[in-house]
Amino acid sequence: MKTLLRYLSLAFALTLAVASTAAPANAKGCIKGAIVGGIAGHAAHHGLLGAAAGCAIGHHEAAKRAKEERLQEEQRKEGQQPAGDQQKQQSQPANSAPAAAPGKQP
């Protein structure tokens, strides 16, 4: 009985130590992707595989979106326009009117 009590108290102490040092998980996009992937995988009788793939894809897309937002914020702070707007302005002179659609006469 004493041995069992020792093992339980040791297990509790280790669990408490691990739980107190754990960092919060960054699961942006994973939950949403896992739900969608799980539903799609369920239709193909591979729910867990679909959920895992959905989580990976969702996390990737969320990271890509966060990177784009971070770059836009940096550009705004520097007083620049986003790269897409600069390309549009360079391809079209400021004084000219936009080109008419093909086949339409003004």
pTM here is 0.48
Query: What phi-psi label fits residue 81: left (phi over 0), alpha (psi between -120 and 50 degrees) or beta?
Result: beta
Within 10 angstroms of residue 101's Cβ, the number of other Cβ atoms is 7
CB distance 36 to 51 below 8 Å: no
pLDDT above 70 covers a percentage of the chain that reads 67
pLDDT > 90 in the chain, percent: 24
Q: What is the pLDDT of residue 53?
A: 92
Write down the pLDDT at residue 61. 92
Average pLDDT over residues 1-8: 77
18-40 pLDDT tens trace: 766 755 556 778 888 889 999 99
How many helices (DSSP H) and strands (DSSP E) are in the chain?
4, 0
